[in-house]
């Protein structure tokens, strides 16, 4: 296990995306499911990113990867697809969070030597 974040810039980006999703919850007041989902998952994403910045561990990235995937799927599973702004916000921010978390996991594996590039 490594003790530092593979890319602090990417981790800070995920923290900002999580905070943005949490703040976006106020725009979705007409769709309670979207508002609650954005608020809760946004805060969790920001919290896991902050934890990774303080003391890196792969579980923080796995958590953000799972949360990012959930945020992408939430409009369809919680049935707020008809709210276009909420749907697009969830899909785009969730995809970014999941992509960054996956990148961090790969960068961490490359830097620790468990997965070598070809």
Distant-in-sequence, close-in-space partners of 9: CB < 8 Å, separation ≥ 6? none
- Rounded CA-CA distance 56/41 in Å is 20
pTM equals 0.88
The CA dihedral of 58, 64, 69, 73, to the nearest 10 degrees, is: 150
In the predicted model, what is the mean pLDDT of the chain? 90
- Rounded CA-CA distance 65/22 in Å is 17
- Rounded CA-CA distance 17/60 in Å is 15
pLDDT 10s digits, 98-115? 999 999 999 877 665 555
């Amino acid at each position: 296990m490594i003790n530092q974040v593979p890319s602090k810039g990417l981790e800070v980006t995920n923290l900002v995306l999580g905070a943005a999703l949490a703040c976006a919850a106020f725009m979705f007041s007409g769709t309670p499911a979207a508002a609650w989902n954005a608020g809760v998952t946004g805060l969790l994403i920001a919290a896991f990113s902050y934890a990774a910045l303080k003391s890196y561990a792969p579980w923080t990235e796995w958590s953000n990867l799972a949360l990012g995937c959930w945020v992408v799927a939430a409009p369809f599973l919680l049935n707020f697809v008809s709210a276009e702004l909420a749907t697009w916000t969830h899909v785009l921010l969730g995809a970014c969070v999941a992509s960054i978390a996956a990148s961090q996991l790969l960068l961490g594996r490359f830097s620790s030597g468990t997965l070598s590039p070809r």
